[in-house]
Amino acid sequence: MSAHFQTVALVGRYADAPVAEAMAALATNAAERGIRVYVDRSNTAAFQAPVERVDESAFADSAQLLVAVGGDGTLLHAARLAYSRDLPLLGINRGRLGFLADVAAAEMLERFGDVLAGRYSRDVRHLLAACLHGPDGAERRAVALNDVVVQKWETGRMLDFETWIDGRYVNTHGGDGLVAATSTGSTAYALSCGGPIIQPDLDALVLAPICPHTLSDRPIVVSRRCEIEVRLVPRAATKAQVTCDGVVLGDLEPEARLTIGPAPERVTLLHPPGYDYYRILRSKLHWGRGARHAHPET
């Protein structure tokens, strides 16, 4: 049977032995099917199969499928390489939680083979766009699959900041910061801030305060299409930093503002047959593990 994809790029932290072993096995499996395999030029891991080493920034131009081997952090990194060309992503979990990298190591080659043969479902995830508007008029933009985070930086003092939604004032917060998460990112940082788990295909956005000073300051869910604005209230010895999926966008100064809204870019995840979002939740969050309530599929 001919392969559905003719070129595949592998992304992973090859210095981690389990990741390097998995990448080598995937490369061999793909090469046996006549598929060209790309890895980053800096990848010094040993491969038994022929691979082509190129700059990973060229993966979107060279490959038809991007495979992230590792945890969700690796997949988020791969997403930054893929979204400009809507290059589809497959996540092989060699990390810890793996809400996004959902293919288990034990079934890696079988599921990889399913995808290469065209047996998969497409799961389109929308991104957030964050823009820092500096006091001098300069703008810095980035996108995020999981979340945009405003947090205190290099200080032990809490932040005071305002939030606005579609031009309407919402609240003045005191605390360590704010997480604006997509439905995809609702199981990431926002979850540890008490935010809800949102089914990934819902067009929603979570705003979750980080360690709020007031207990009534709770996470809220709004439409992903809303425009969020965050302004830092001037206060001595405070400093805020903005990150998008863990990558620093810049500092939020009292004279600046941060806007967050829907991005035109998107990321397409591929899921092999048998993918079940709720099964992943049960597995990762240890739901239904009690003897009285255990389910046969858990």
Task: Kindly report, residue by residue over 263-292, the tens digit of the pLDDT.
Answer: 999 999 999 999 999 999 998 888 987 655
CA-wise closest residue to 25 among 95, 99, 112: 112
Scanning the structure block, which residue is given the tokens 């200080």?
155
**Which residue among the candidates 16, 40, 61, 72 is catalytic per the annotation?**
72
| Domain annotation for the chain: domains and CATH numbers | 7-120+272-285 (3.40.50.10330), 127-264 (2.60.200.30)
Which pLDDT score, from 0 to 100, does residue 243 have? Answer: 98
Contact 157, 232 (CB under 8 A): no
Going residue by residue through the chain, which has 298 residues, state the pLDDT in tens, using 9 for 90 and above: 456 899 999 999 999 999 999 999 999 999 999 999 999 999 988 899 999 999 999 999 999 999 999 999 999 999 999 998 889 999 999 977 678 988 998 999 999 999 999 999 999 999 999 999 998 889 999 999 999 999 999 888 899 999 999 999 999 999 999 999 999 999 999 999 999 999 999 999 999 999 999 989 999 999 999 999 999 998 887 889 999 999 999 999 988 999 999 999 999 999 999 999 999 999 888 898 765 555 555 5
Which pLDDT score, from 0 to 100, does residue 1 have? Answer: 46
d(CA 103, CA 216): 39
CA-wise closest residue to 277 among 267, 291, 287: 287
Which pLDDT score, from 0 to 100, does residue 294 have? Answer: 56
d(CA 133, CA 251): 10
Q: How buried is residue 138: exposed, middle or buried, by Cβ count under 10 Å (0-12/13-18/19+)?
A: exposed
The sign of the CA dihedral 224, 57, 68, 73 is negative
Which pLDDT score, from 0 to 100, does residue 297 have? Answer: 58
Contact 98, 91 (CB under 8 A): yes
d(CA 229, CA 258): 6
- Does the active-site annotation cover 55? no
Contact 16, 45 (CB under 8 A): no
CA-wise closest residue to 94 among 11, 186, 197: 11
pTM > 0.85:
yes
Scanning the structure block, which residue is given the tokens 């389910």?
295
User: Which run of H or of E encompasses 45?
Assistant: none
Which pLDDT score, from 0 to 100, does residue 239 have? Answer: 87
Q: What is the CA radius of gyration of the chain?
A: 21
DSSP string over 239-285: -EEEEETTEEEEEE-TT-EEEEEEEEEEEEEEE-TT--HHHHHHHHH
User: For 85-103, what is each residue's pLDDT tens digit?
Assistant: 889 999 999 977 678 988 9
Which pLDDT score, from 0 to 100, does residue 296 have? Answer: 56
Sheet holding 247-252, edge to edge: 220-223, 204-210, 177-182, 147-152, 240-244, 247-252
